Structure 1
């Protein structure tokens, strides 16, 4: 059972790290790069990204990070090293922030951008961009910080578990 607990914790850490990395990549490269693009390029690219990201691999990692973290906490609670629990609970809470922000802010903004329609039918690309960009970027920063902090908590849990095994 200890091997299974470790595997779940490792998988949770990997999934959360991948999610944190995705949000970080948007924060430090994708959005700053698009920020320098013209309105048409910005809107078109974000519309395409928002469609492309909805795939099985993304959803597995995005939702799996929380599911695996909660499972890791339950497994530790039921017979593992309880010293890991504060780290696991903190990671789950931080990643819940990511999911809440995504569902409450970023996805509705993505939906508004999609609802603007085809580029040829949008009369004012600058207005569409203006209602989307700064809010989306700001809340993505919140997701980046929360996911990265959650990843750090899972790394701390791994280190704590490894130290107790020595």
Structure 2
């Protein structure tokens, strides 16, 4: 395996792993965290979400979240030469889908998280029903969208690895 080949494999594997981490996070929210919180009272819901939104901002989260974009971009760039074109459509598909999940995160989920934080200490919120009502349904709906987008990106990256390794699917 030459140097270019090794870099391509590394980029594809790293993109697949980090995208899988992000897709798994969004999937966990969609399938367990938010359904689990659905039945809690408003103050508990707000308190838990505020705490999660603070705790999630750490290096391990950023490694997956940002790494997925960086490694997928690298995989696309490394497959641009003529000898990498076979993999390029799948890698670009992954990049488009993952970028879509980032756009949803930046345009919808982060502003909702910031609004929830700005509501203040849960015990001091005058109308917790209103605060939760402005957050929950919209956040859940758009989290599902980013879960689907990042899962599609993961699928594209898996397909890119299959194509790269010249393995014919059964």
- TM norm structure 2: 0.94
Does the 8 A contact of 2:50 with 2:117 survive in 1? yes
Matches within 5 A, 1:26-65: 26-65=29-68
Matches within 5 A, 1:86-105: 86-105=89-108
Q: How many residues align?
A: 165
Distance change in 2, residues 1:7/1:80 (3 Å): farther
> Which has the larger helix fraction?
1
Matches within 5 A, 1:75-86: 75-78=78-81, 80-86=83-89
Distance apart, 1:82 and its partner CA: 1.2
Q: Distance in 1 between matches of 2:92 and 2:81?
A: 14
Q: Are residues 1:127 and 2:167 paired? A: no
RMSD after superposition: 1.3
Distance change in 2, residues 1:96/1:119 (3 Å): same
Does the 8 A contact of 2:78 with 2:84 survive in 1? no
Point out 4+ residue stretches in structure 1 off by more than 2 angstroms.
Answer: 78-81
1:150 to 137, 149, 153: 153
Q: Could you tell me which residue of structure 1 aligns to residue 109 of structure 2?
A: 106
Q: Distance in 1 between matches of 2:148 and 2:102?
A: 13
1:66 to 44, 61, 69: 69
Distance change in 2, residues 1:80/1:59 (3 Å): farther
Specify every segment of 5 or more residues in structure 1 that has no aligned partner in the other structure, as ranges. none
- TM norm structure 1: 0.96
